[in-house]
Every structure is written in C-alpha cells, then in structure tokens.
Amino acid sequence: MSNLVHEPVWLHGKPSVEALLRAEPEDFRVTENLGFEPDGEGEHQFLYIRKRGENTDWVARQLAHFCQVSPRDVSYAGKKDRHAVTEQWFSVHLPGHRRNLNWQLFGGDSIEVLRAERHSRKLRLGALAGNRFELRLKQVSDGAELQARFARLAAGVPNYFGEQRFGHHFGNIEKGIALLEGRLKERQRHKKGLYISAVRSWLFNELLSRRIESGYWDRLLEGDVLMINGRQSCFRYDGDPTVAQRLAAGELNLTGPLWGSGELMTDAQAQAFERDALAPHQAVCQRLEAIGLKQERRALRLIPGALAIERESDRQWRLMFDLPAGAFATSVLRELCCWRLPAADGRPEQE
C-alpha cells in the first residue's frame, strides 16, 4: 500500500516551520455552525453540547441511554475530533410525554449541555454550514515564517481530504481496495462506507496533487468543471472570459471527481487530464463504478474564512478560521507548518 499512497503536494513547498499540535484538548477547539436555528416546536429535541476528549458516536450512545431510546433516534450533523474541545448539535426523537427531561443531569466532567431547543425535524448528517476552528500551536520553530505562510491562506489551500479519513498507516484505503476486490468481507454497513469513502478520497487527493504539479492549480483547462464557492452546484467552462476573473477572485473553484459510475462531467482537455492522472488506478476506478457509486465533484480549492492569527508568546501562536462542511482543518495546517502530536497520542483517530 505504501507504494500507492503518496504524500500530497504542498502548494508553496513543504513548510520549514515545526510545531506541536494538541498538547492538550483545549489546544484544538471546534464550534459547529448549523446555518439555522431550531424552530422551537416539534418532536425532536436539539441539544447543543460541549465535549472534551470524547468521540461523537460515544456521546450519541450516551444520549440514547439517558433518554431510554434507540440509538437510531439520536443523530448529529457531523462528527467532530475526539482529542479536542468541541461544540456541536445533537437531536433526539422525543415525542409527547418525554419532553421534560432534566438535561443538566446528562453528561459529567467531559460533556455539558449548553442549549436545549425543540425542532420539527430530525438533524441529518451533513446538515451544517461549517465549523469555526481555534487552534493553538506550541513549540513553534519560526514565528515569522509561520506568519508569512499564514498570510497566503486567504487565497486558498488545496482541498485535500485529511489523514483522519485514511486511518492508521492508510489502513482504510487498504481495506477499501480489499473490499472492492472481494478479498475482504465486512458486515457492518458504516465500516464499508468508511473504507470505500477512503478510496474515493485517496483518488481525489492523487488527482489534486497532479494538478498542482502540472501547474494547473488555478488555471483553466478546456472543458473544466467549476463550482461556486460555498455551494455544490457545478457547471462546465465554455470559454466565457469572465470565468477566469471569477476564479482568480475566489468566487469560483475548479473541481475534481469523486469517482463513480457515469460519464465524467469534464470534457476535452480537462477530461483527458483527469483520465491520465488516474490511469495508474484504473482497476480501482472500474470497481468503484461497478458497485453503483455515482460520479460527484469536489472543489479543488479550500478558502478559509474569518482568518486570524495571534502571538501568545515567542513559541506559541493561536490560529482562527472558518471552514465549510466537509473540509479538513489539517489541510489548512499542513500549508503552515510540519506539525506533530504529543508522543503518547500517535495519529489523530478516525471518528
């Protein structure tokens, strides 16, 4: 597997700055933005919960136990990092007589209910606008270089899937390929989805790296497919001269494929580039098509919002930025510094 997975290419070269990340959970804070407010009525109880050092699924199971409902009645919009302090919404289906639970009794030292509101509909996975990140870097080797690289973030970074998606030593990719080839049987549906998603994400990262290496990171190819920044709708480039201007201004982003069945949305030069970039993995692509996954597109560029940086001491800095749903903070961090975790932690866990 190691000869298949390559280190993603950096946009501005590998950083020389080194830093320590997640020395403690408070160094990695995530605040969820749903993009809407609960309407105050209905059978679903929305709970805004702060957790420290806990897994999202574990909190959901604790909620189900506390409310004496099936785990299927508890949902959330997105999984959050375990080794962090995070704030996010959960929903519990609690019709009628189960409305008056005392939420202050739920939790403990690592979990706290900050808000409880009713809503008419269940909270569904992916139904969020994005997340606010506040990260503290310690033992920073070069503060001036960190600031210089941070200033470049406003123009965007490669929208790579983060290493959390791939598991320890890229094991999720290996299992995904084994599933596709019939060498692995997996009964748990969510694990199957995790492994197959890792394969599609790996192929996307491979193509994005190739695009940067080829000098087409921010250059239009004939037949390219673009996405409006912050939205999912796509359209094909037809030579309109205003498209290049909107791309440069950050209004539009080039896209790459999340592989599946159906024709590539790109055409002409762009389609040829994509097929050539993934030609070494043609057999994997064909197996993804065979299991019924549909072609999708993902933006190649990630533009962080509300960027801020604060010096707390000579070797300690605090970073703040907003990211849309589906984006990885580690993809921003890798453009800033070569970060490491405390020795006891190893790699970040896949939730």
For 289-300, the DSSP string reads HHTTPBPEEEES
Kindly name the residue from 81, 218, 224, 267 that is annotated as catalytic: 81
Per-residue model confidence (pLDDT) at position 169: 84
**Beta strands 305-313 and 301-302, pairing class:** unpaired
Residue 164: pLDDT band with limits 50, 70, 90? confident
Residue 345 has pLDDT above 80, yes or no: no
Q: Which residue has the higher pLDDT, 81 or 336?
A: 336
Per-residue model confidence (pLDDT) at position 127: 86
pLDDT tens digits for range 117-133: 999 999 998 889 999 99
CB 351 within 8 A of CB 53: no
Q: What percent of the chain has pLDDT over 90?
A: 77
| In the chain, where the domains are located | 36-119
- 81 given a catalytic annotation: yes
| CATH number for domain 36-119, candidates 3.40.50.2300, 1.20.1250.20, 3.30.2010.10, 3.30.2350.20 | 3.30.2350.20
Residue 73 has pLDDT above 50, yes or no: yes
In 3-state terms, what secondary structure has residue 266?
coil
CA atoms within 13 A on the CB side of 29: 12
Helices 282-290 and 171-180, packing angle to 10 deg: 60
Between CA 226 and CA 237 the distance in angstroms is 7
Structure tokens at 191: 């694990």
What average pLDDT score do residues 273-292 get? 94
273: nearest Cα among 254, 246, 286, 292: 254
What average pLDDT score do residues 68-75 get? 93
Residue 350 has pLDDT above 50, yes or no: no
Structure tokens at 93: 């289906």
Between CA 178 and CA 101 the distance in angstroms is 46
Q: Which amino acid, one-letter code, is at 310?
A: E
Residue 251: pLDDT band with limits 50, 70, 90? very high
Per-residue model confidence (pLDDT) at position 348: 45
pTM for this predicted structure: 0.91
pLDDT tens digits for range 195-239: 999 999 999 999 999 999 999 998 999 999 999 987 888 999 998
Residue 349 has pLDDT above 70, yes or no: no
Per-residue model confidence (pLDDT) at position 16: 96
59: nearest Cα among 37, 36, 82, 27: 82
In 3-state terms, what secondary structure has residue 267?
coil
